[in-house]
Structure 1
Amino acid sequence: MRIWRRVAAIGAVQLKTGLQILPYRDDLQEQVSWLIREVNNLGGEAVAVQCEKVEAVTNQQIEQLFQAQVDPEFTSIQEEARSLIDLMENRINETSNKELLAALQKLRKRCETVRERDFFPSGAAGKTLSVLDSISEQLRNPAKKTIPAMQLDPADFSGRIWVTRARPYIDRLGSAWLIKKFIDLDAQFLFLQTGEMPDLDRGQLPFDMAVGDFTHQGELITFEVLIRDFNLKDPALDRISELVRCIDIQEETLPDDAALLKTIIDGLVATRHDDHQLLKQANLLFDSLYAGFMKTLQG
Structure 2
Amino acid sequence: MTQPWLLCIHNIPPKPPYLRAKVSRRLAALGAVALKNSVYILPDAEPQRENLIWLAKEIVQGGGKAYVCRAMFDGIDGGEYSDADIRKLFVEARETDYRNLAAEFQAAFKSLNAPAETLCTEGVMGWNQDLKTRYENILRIDYFGTPGRGTIEGMLAAFEEWLAAGTRKSRPEEKVLSPKDYRGRTWVTRSGVHVDRIASAWLIRRFIDPEAAFRFDARKKTEKDILFDMVEGDFTHEGPMCTFEVMLKRFHLDSDAALAVLGEIIHDMDLDADAPSRPESPGILALLNGICLETDMDEKRVEDGSRVLDTLYAHFQRSGRNA
- With the shorter chain as reference, the TM-score category is 0.7 to 0.9
Q: Distance between the aligned counterparts of 2:119 and 2:317, measured in 1?
A: 48
Structure 2 equivalent of residue 290 of structure 1: 313
Contact 2:228/2:235 (8 A) holds in 1: yes
Runs of 5+ unmatched residues, structure 2: 1-18
The structure-2 alpha-carbon separation of the partners of 1:289 and 1:95, relative to structure 1 and needing over 3 Å to count, comes to: closer
Answering whether residue 36 of structure 2 is matched by residue 13 of structure 1, we say no
Equivalence for 2:43: 23
Aligned equivalent of 1:123: 147
TM-score by length of 2: 0.72
Equivalence for 1:267: 290
**Normalised TM-score (structure 1):** 0.77
Q: 2:244 aligns with which of 203, 212, 223?
A: 223
CA distance in 1 between counterparts of 2:234 and 2:91 reads 37
1:48 equivalent in alignment to 2:71:
no
CA 1:92 to 1:187, structure 2 compared with 1: closer, same or farther past 3 Å?
Answer: closer
Distance 1:205 1:42, change over 3 A: same
CA 1:230/1:112 → structure 2, altered by over 3 Å: closer, same or farther?
A: closer
Q: 1:109 to 1:290 in 2, by over 3 A?
A: same
State the secondary structure of the residue aligned to 2:280.
helix
Equivalent AA in structure 2 for residue 123 of structure 1: P
Tell me, yes or no, if structure 1 residue 110 matches structure 2 residue 134.
yes
Secondary structure of the corresponding residue to residue 123 of structure 1: coil
In structure 1, stretches of 5+ residues that fail to align are none
- 2:118 and 2:265 mapped to 1: Cα distance? 36
Q: Deviations over 1:152-180 (max 9, x none)?
A: 44333221122344444433322221111
Distance 1:271 1:48, change over 3 A: same
Task: Give, in angstroms, the shift of residue 50 of structure 1.
Answer: 2.1
Partner of 1:98: 122
How many residue pairs get matched? 293
Deviations 1:227-250 (A, max 9, x none): 454455655444434433444452
Aligned amino acid, residue 288 of structure 1: T
Give the corresponding residue for 2:59.
Answer: 39
* Closer, same or farther: CA 148–216 of 1 in aligned 2, 3 Å: farther
CA pair 124-156 structure 1, distance change in 2 beyond 3 A: closer
Larger mean CA deviation between 144-153 and 71-80 belongs to 144-153
2:279 is aligned to 256
Tell me how far 1:108 sits from its aligned partner: 1.6
Q: SS in structure 2 opposite 1:22?
A: strand
- 1:58: Cα distance to partner? 4.4
- Counterpart of 1:77, as a letter, is L
CA change 1:110–1:52 in 2 (3 A) is same
RMSD: 3.7
Paired residue for 1:243? 265
Distance 1:179-1:44 versus aligned 2 partners, 3 A rule: same
Which residue number in structure 2 is paired with residue 173 of structure 1? 198
Match of 1:203 among 215, 224, 227: 224
